[in-house]
Amino acid sequence: MRFTITHTDTNSLARVGEINTAHGAINTPCFMPVGTQASVKTLTNSLVEEQGAEIILANTYHLYLRPGHNIIAQLGGLHQFMRWQKPILTDSGGFQIYSLASLRKVTPAGVFFQSHIDGSSHLLSPELAIEAQCAFGVDIMMCLDECTPYPATSEQAEQSLTLTAQWAKRCKEAKGENPNALFGIVQGGMYPDLRRKSVASLLEIGFDGYALGGLSVGEPKELMKEMVETAAPMLPADKPRYLMGVGFPADIVHAVGNGIDMFDCVIPTRCARNGLLFTNEGNIAIGSSRYLKDKNPLDNTCDCYTCRNFSRAYLRHLYVSGEITAMVLNTIHNLRFYMRLMEGIRTAIKTGAFAELSNKFTQK
């Protein structure tokens, strides 16, 4: 993996770059649609690609349990298995196990957990997390980390970041000579001093890129912003910076202004399936009766298939009727909205208009 910065903003830490991988280039800042089980929900790969996605995220925890990393390896790796030929990033599975609080136990060796599918017992160690991701053959792998919950005491957060650093070192050792990229994950809860300590420990090990984890886990928005403002500028300028799981448009714009290059979140696809659609004029709850006779497209500025062809009235009809097509058309639009957002951010940075774009989002 190679990362090149091509443009920087004069009034912020925002930058435009390009990540080159064996499966193609990724223009940054970028948003990665979430394909948890080797599929972006409701869309075919061609539809995901049509919206402008250059990379997707898949989930190690789910694919390890079903169908299994060894089976995927036997079938040619994740790209061949799901027939997606652009770059893929896999998370380590740490966040999914974090969310299974009643089914897991964290130890220095790794995380003992019970499968949410059949109740079987497993130990996800740093070594196994890397073994699985190497078997998938993805372009960017993530270290196993312990996601610090919110709220957490300073002592709890420090214990978590210490364990995360120990696991990160083991992950890098387990990677060995595998040529694909490995990112370390910064933890430290909502404590600026611990965030700095976590960054320092990861820099000592050395990774191909760095991620901020343990955010958007229930903390107040301003506290999340403070952690981004604290930790992001400390990460190496010549490496990609990834903010994990944060995905509301205004939060993305704020994080880009603090030097973040990569984002992922289920928000655009999950909201689409639940009838919440993003537009330049604000969000639309398409199930509302106010759209019963509305002949307008969702967004007059949007070039997606949904907006080019269908009215709000029709989309409401599909949604309230429970038609599967509603989920497809809604997801196409929301995903395209996010891709257009990132395209607009990159253009604004290149043309010196990022401050204006950021102010508009702040006002909205």
| pLDDT bucket at 254, cuts 50 / 70 / 90 | very high
What is the H or E stretch that residue 80 is in? helix 78-82
Active site residues: 91, 264
Secondary structure (DSSP) of 231-246? HGGGS-TTS-EEETT-
Cβ neighbours of residue 139 under 8 Å, at least 6 residues apart? 1, 21, 22, 23, 55, 87, 88, 89, 180, 181
With a pLDDT cut of 90, the percent of the chain lying above it is 93
| 199-228: average pLDDT | 97
CB neighbours (10 Å) of residue 77? 17
In this predicted model, what pLDDT tens digit does every residue of 307-336 receive, in sequence order? Answer: 999 999 999 999 999 999 999 999 999 999
Give the pLDDT score at 102.
Answer: 76
| 131-145: average pLDDT | 98
* Sheet (strand 30-32) strand order: 30-32, 262-264, 241-243, 209-212, 181-186, 140-142, 88-91, 56-59
Class of domain 2-265 (CATH, top level): alpha beta
Sole residue written with tokens 């995901």: 48
In this predicted model, what pLDDT tens digit does every residue of 87-120 receive, in sequence order? Answer: 999 999 878 877 877 788 999 999 998 898 999 9
Give the pLDDT score at 263.
Answer: 98
Average pLDDT of every residue of the chain: 96
| pLDDT bucket at 136, cuts 50 / 70 / 90 | very high
| pLDDT bucket at 20, cuts 50 / 70 / 90 | very high
Least confident of 33-37, 95-99, 156-160, 285-289: 95-99
* Sheet (strand 15-21) strand order: 2-8, 15-21, 24-28
Rg value, the chain, Cα: 20
Beta strands in 279-341 (DSSP E): 284-285
Give the pLDDT score at 98.
Answer: 78
Tokens representing 285? 């709850």
C-alpha span between 5 and 175 (Å, rounded): 26
The residue among 296 and 94 whose pLDDT is bigger is 296
Give the pLDDT score at 196.
Answer: 97
Sole residue written with tokens 């223009």: 27
End-to-end CA distance of the chain: 37
Give the pLDDT score at 103.
Answer: 80
Q: Pairing relation of β-strands 88-91 and 241-243? A: unpaired
Phi and psi, residue 171, nearest 5°: -65, -45
Tokens representing 198? 């976590």
Give the pLDDT score at 364.
Answer: 75
> Has residue 238 got a pLDDT over 90?
yes
Give the pLDDT score at 350.
Answer: 98
Sign of the Cα torsion 130, 236, 256, 159 reads positive
Give the pLDDT score at 100.
Answer: 76
> Has residue 192 got a pLDDT over 80?
yes
C-alpha span between 247 and 21 (Å, rounded): 24
> Has residue 223 got a pLDDT over 80?
yes
What are the boundaries of each domain within the chain? 2-265, 266-355
C-alpha span between 142 and 130 (Å, rounded): 8
C-alpha span between 102 and 205 (Å, rounded): 32
* Cα–Cα nearest to 28, from 44, 58, 51, 8: 8
* Cα–Cα nearest to 342, from 271, 264, 273, 283: 264
Look up residue 106 and give its DSSP letter: E
Tokens representing 15? 């930058």
